[in-house]
Amino acid sequence: MTAQIALPATFNDFLGNSTAIEHLRTAIAAGRLPHSLILAGPSGAGKYTLALMLAMAVECQRQPRDLWSNGQSLASFCGVCHNCTRIASAATLEDEIDKAVAAREELREVDKKDTRILVQPHPDVLIVPPDPPQLLIKLGQIRTVIQRSHYLPNEAPRKIFILTAANMMKEAANSLLKVLEEPPETVHIIILAENPGELLPTIRSRCATVRLGALPVEEIEMLLTDRRPDVPPKQRTLIARLAQGAAGKALGFDLEAYTASRADALLFLRNAAASSSGSAEPDHTALFKMTETYRAGAEGQQKTTALLRSLSLLLEDLLLLGAGTPELLRNTDLRPELDRLSSTLNFAWIESASRGLDQVQSGMRRNLLRSLSLDAFAGQLAAR
């Protein structure tokens, strides 16, 4: 069980992106919040937190208002009414998903396959996460959204549906289009997306998009100093760079887990560098032994995602070194090794490796065998 997460008490306590948030608050106050909205931004940027806060502002029974300096009204929430407290109860999404999965496991086998994971903290707010173990939003979940969207709200002004990821099964994405084309007047659908490009163009065209930008490294480091004083200064500096401008990612960053996945990612690069230089035999044995540990299921997917992210950051660092901008490196603790790799792996190789990485990520979305995909990718890297 993860620690209880408290939502920011006010919109002013949300870190960063104040202009985008003010526009959303103005829209809610004026009754013009788009019926279909994409909140885009990196993992840890606060998309889910913001989505819950927007839901609270829409559904709050007291409907408090703040004023801009120009007199413009900004929607807010009280945080204590019955609607606010129930919506806020879903702040720890992982715990809510775990409860839903546990409840599904208690069902008869014949019922399990037809039961999809949904989180409903309030009768008029439904949260739709990727369904384990494939971690994709599935057709059954979207059918529930469509069905419930046609009913009037029970206890609040609007019905709000929050889809917590952009990775959907094809049938689910096509089905979602039906409700996006003609959303009921009392419905708001909020889609959270790290990469909106994963969504169908027809879905993107029917939604307003709000992007949450990255915070400066210095601001992230100050936040860590304030909120995580237990972390040594050198580690805080490293985490601030690895968090990629996402405050939430920085505060919850597991450096030990990251360095473990990065160690696996380095095996790929060392193997490729040995092949490229011809100075040593590439260590295929160690590499393939490592990829065998990337099994199927939700845990395997999370482990693979962490590996691919760390590999992506390492490739970015190699590009930064090649471009003569080492001050922008993220993996600052690996500078000597990155320098060695950079001297062997040229820009054309890094570009090709990045394309291969995209193909592996695409294969994951199509549910290809992970260990085989990684083996094939390693072989391609060594051959380049």
What are 205-238's pLDDT values in tens digits? Answer: 999 999 999 889 999 999 999 989 999 999 999 9
Asked whether residue 383 carries a pLDDT value surpassing 70, the answer given is no
Reported in sequence order, the residue ranges of the chain that DSSP labels E, i.e. its strands, are 36-40, 65-67, 73-75, 119-122, 125-128, 159-163, 187-193, 208-211
- pLDDT score recorded for residue 90: 97
pLDDT band of 72, cuts 50, 70, 90:
confident
* pLDDT tier, 248 (very low <50, low <70, confident <90, very high otherwise): confident
Q: How far apart are the C-alpha atoms of 114 and 140, rounded to whole Å?
A: 8
Compute the distance between CA of residue 167 and CA of residue 141 in angstroms, rounded to an integer.
13
Element (H, E) at 55: helix 47-59
To the nearest whole percent, how much of the chain has pLDDT over 70? 89
List residues bridging with 187 in a β-sheet: 159
> What does each C-alpha distance from 337 to 271, 342, 354 come to in angstroms?
13, 8, 19
Predicted TM-score of the model (pTM): 0.80
Euclidean distance between CA atoms 31 and 302, whole angstroms: 39
Of 370 and 180, the structure prediction assigns the larger pLDDT to 180
**What is the structure's pLDDT at 271?**
82
Beta-strand relationship, 65-67 and 36-40: unpaired
Residue 2: which pLDDT band, with cuts at 50, 70 and 90?
A: very low
d(CA 94, CA 56): 20
For the chain, domains (ranges, CATH) are 11-211 (3.40.50.300), 254-383 (no CATH)
79-104: pLDDT as tens digits = 999 999 999 999 999 999 999 999 99
Q: What pLDDT does residue 44 have? A: 86
Residue 301's pLDDT is what?
73
Please state, in angstroms and as integers, the Cα–Cα distance from residue 130 to each residue in 122, 125, 172, 294, following that order: 19, 17, 11, 20
β-pairing, 159-163 vs 125-128, is: parallel
Residues 365 and 173: their CA atoms lie apart, in Å, by 13
Q: What does the alpha-carbon distance between residue 122 and residue 177 come to, in Å, rounded to a whole number? A: 25
The segment with the largest mean pLDDT, out of 32-36, 196-200, 217-221, is 32-36
> What is the rounded average pLDDT of the residues 297-302?
69
